């Protein structure tokens, strides 16, 4: 598949919450899983079984990273894409721990830090963790991550300390998820004047006492923690941004980033057809003098000196696809 930059159209910001990647953390019992289950066509990946009291929820228990990899394969199927559009990860803490355990087994080590630079376990586990969830997102699904909360003390450059409420997820994995998300908030109970409590969601923290952020500049700092309030806050923030910038690039339709996954067998078949057509249309002399050297030059450009396209592995599908693109341009 070739890229054509002339086909790019202006991006529209969607008012549909299921377009976005959301990350909510907080204490148990604040309703995080319940809210996530209200996302359209949601599938809960239950790394911990916190959905027993939620009727009708669509849930898949996950007890190992091997099962997670099976789920990713399932999510690529057209019929699964039709059934689900939001993948809820509850909790991402346990998902990270299982990913780490899986990579330790693959590397033949007990702890991910064993072996130092020779093994480079930390880099490999972070790569596995990040690529798994980015793949799900690129398949067209939205993601909703759930974690717990903890208080943490930080030290400024001048030596003074301050406390901040953060996720319980370890920093290495936490940063990966936060770099992906559009909405990152802290769910917490607030005691009302009458003594009752209400669960609120902090989406921005001006005093930095809570770790929270949003890609939407005008979203309210704090809202009531329920699905309707979150949708309303998102829509108001998007509409205000559009109004402030006289921007009409807003839509009610769900927007997704779709990955263009290459099929190795199809790409290989296309390569073989192009080469066969070239051979059939030219004499042996023309092939020897002009076409074979050109095909060899393009092939070696992407695979290396002395390599042939017929030797490509499935892991080299991107390189083979680039060879096909150049050959198509060559025979125009």
Average pLDDT of 288-301? Answer: 91
Q: In sequence order, what are the beta bridge partners of 24?
A: 146, 185
Strand blocks (E) in 192-289: 197-202, 213-214, 222-224, 250-251
User: What confidence tens digit (pLDDT) does each residue in 244-266 have?
Assistant: 766 665 555 555 555 567 788 99
At residue 96, the pLDDT reads: 96
Name the 3-class secondary structure at 5.
helix
Higher-confidence residue: 188 or 153?
Answer: 188
Average pLDDT of 226-241? Answer: 88
Q: Give the integer Cα–Cα distance in Å for 288 and 270.
A: 22
Domains of the chain, start order: 11-251 (3.40.50), 264-330 (no CATH)
Name the 3-class secondary structure at 182.
coil
pLDDT band of residue 167 (cuts 50, 70, 90) is very high
b/e for 226-250, b at 16 or more Cβ within 10 A?
eeeebeebbbbbbeebeeeeeeeee
User: What confidence tens digit (pLDDT) does each residue in 82-123 have?
Assistant: 999 999 999 999 999 999 999 999 888 888 887 777 678 889
For 302, the token pair is 């992407």
For 269, the token pair is 């078949």
- Percent of the chain past pLDDT 90, that is, above it, reads 51
User: What confidence tens digit (pLDDT) does each residue in 127-163 have?
Assistant: 999 999 999 998 989 999 999 999 988 888 888 888 9
At residue 94, the pLDDT reads: 96
Question: Has residue 181 got a pLDDT over 80?
Answer: yes
Q: Give the integer Cα–Cα distance in Å for 4 and 260.
A: 13
Q: Give the integer Cα–Cα distance in Å for 60 and 49.
A: 10
At residue 11, the pLDDT reads: 55
At residue 279, the pLDDT reads: 92
Higher-confidence residue: 332 or 276?
Answer: 276
């Amino acid at each position: 598949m070739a890229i054509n930059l002339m086909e790019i159209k202006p991006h529209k910001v969607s008012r549909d919450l299921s377009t976005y990647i959301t990350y909510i953390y907080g204490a148990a019992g604040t309703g995080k899983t319940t809210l996530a289950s209200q996302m359209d066509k949601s599938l809960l990946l239950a790394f911990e079984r916190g959905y027993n009291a939620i009727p009708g929820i669509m849930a898949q228990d996950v007890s190992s990273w091997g099962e997670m990899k099976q789920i990713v394969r399932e999510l690529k199927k057209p019929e699964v894409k039709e059934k689900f559009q939001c993948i809820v990860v509850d909790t991402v803490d346990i998902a990270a721990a299982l990913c780490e355990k899986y990579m330790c087994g693959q590397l033949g080590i007990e702890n991910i830090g064993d072996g130092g630079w020779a093994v480079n376990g930390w880099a490999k586990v972070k790569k596995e963790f990040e690529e798994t969830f980015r793949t799900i997102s690129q398949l067209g699904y939205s993601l909703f991550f759930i974690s717990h909360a903890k208080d943490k003390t930080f030290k400024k450059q001048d030596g003074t300390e301050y406390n901040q409420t953060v996720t319980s997820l370890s920093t290495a994995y936490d940063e990966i998820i936060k770099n992906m998300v559009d909405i990152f908030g802290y769910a917490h109970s607030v005691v009302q004047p009458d003594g009752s409590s209400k669960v609120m969601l902090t989406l921005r923290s001006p005093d930095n006492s809570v770790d929270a952020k949003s890609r939407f500049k005008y979203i309210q700092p704090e809202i009531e923690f329920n699905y309707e309030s979150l949708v309303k806050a998102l829509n108001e923030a998007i509409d205000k941004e559009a109004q402030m910038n006289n921007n009409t690039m807003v839509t009610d339709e769900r927007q997704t980033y779709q990955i263009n996954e290459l099929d190795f067998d199809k790409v290989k078949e296309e390569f073989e057809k192009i080469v066969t057509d070239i051979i059939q249309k030219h004499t042996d002399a023309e092939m020897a003098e002009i076409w074979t050297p050109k095909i060899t030059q393009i092939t070696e450009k992407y695979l290396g000196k002395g390599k042939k396209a017929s030797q490509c592995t499935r892991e080299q599908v991107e390189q083979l696809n680039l060879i096909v693109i150049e050959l198509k341009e060559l025979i125009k």
